[in-house]
Amino acid sequence: MIKTRFDSEKVKHILIRSTNWVGDAVLTTPAIRAVRKNFPEAEISILAKPWVIPIFYNNPHVDHIIHYDSAGRHAGWLGKGRLIQELRKGRYDLAILFQNAFEAAFMACLAGIPNRLGFDTDGRRFFLTHRIKVEPKLKQVHQIDYYLGILKGAGLSLDGRDLTLAVAEQERRRADEILRGHHITRQDRLVGVSPGATYGSAKRWSPGRYAALCDKIHEFHGARIIIFGGPGEKAIGDQVSESMKHPCVNLCGKTTLREAIALIEKCKLFVTNDSGLMHVAAALDIPLVAIFGSTNPITTGPSSSRSRIVRVPMPCSPCLKTECPEEHQCMREITVEGVYAVAEALLNEDSS
């Protein structure tokens, strides 16, 4: 139930609580743009965990980024109390909570923010002044529309579904520097792959098949292969690179997120599981092959015209499990030849 409509002239300071996953953060950017459209004169701050913060760098709709250091300065109840005091100093008029956790609403309330907008979930209704009911149909739409649903439910206007992810010139220069360090020039055709997925192994196509795919792309298209991933995915990246017949550049765990974003922008093709970097590539409008198994492409698929989804429907899929309790058939049925055919079509489109 909506308490009142918002008076945009009275809302001067807005706090947006970000989601805690990289991909989800990318998918909130259309909603952030809509917040700016509704409150053009307001100062907009984002509260985010450290691994998510880089998604909001260079975003023209964000004025300030607040570091939620949950493992350090803001750890435990004492740390949360410290963060609440810091938020109080911001004198925010409105909190928009894209993070559904109880904690998000509880902290916004204790920070003295008078208007608190979010979904009525996780037992937090008494800490929200503007509660948006999660209708059953809202759970079946794409995550972009799910986050926009918070604003729509509050009577705010939307501003399209395009994702926002901006790369600065100095970041492009840094990407060029990294590539030169691996003897890659601007004339080389780059293909990126992201064989990991933070949520769990059920989302991952096998490293051996990624290796075979990369070899085939190199052999038939002369592409230089770059393997992407975070520090926790280094072992997977090593498996792929060590299984390949041809040399590649394995950057798993060796770049910052912003460096990875700038490097992905230079790729002619990106092949990935359902992951945060999949949404990064989609936001950058890079030709993209997304391999889906345990998750639902209707709700979390890439949102771009140049993306293609490879999926073999199974009775048990999407199960949304982190680990497959069976034989991972949804991924085992996806062949190297099938993924290569989709990848080749995109590469040919790009060169035509």
Statement: residue 24 has pLDDT above 50: yes
**Predicted local confidence at residue 110, as pLDDT:** 97
Domain with CATH 3.40.50.2000 in the chain: 13-153, 169-351
Statement: residue 3 has pLDDT above 60: no
DSSP string, 228-272: ---GGGHHHHHHHHHH-SS--EE-TTTS-HHHHHHHHTT-SEEEE
Query: What are the tens digits of pLDDT across the range 43-96?
Result: 999 999 999 999 999 999 999 999 999 999 999 999 999 999 999 999 999 999
Integer CA distances (angstroms), 63 to 13, 44, 59, 144, in order: 10, 5, 8, 22
Work out the pLDDT band at 327, boundaries 50, 70, 90. Answer: confident
Query: What are the tens digits of pLDDT across the range 296-311?
Result: 999 999 999 999 999 9
Query: What are the tens digits of pLDDT across the range 231-255?
Result: 999 999 999 999 999 999 999 999 9
**Predicted local confidence at residue 1, as pLDDT:** 42
What's the CATH number for 169-351? 3.40.50.2000
Which class does domain 13-153 fall in?
alpha beta
**Predicted local confidence at residue 139, as pLDDT:** 87
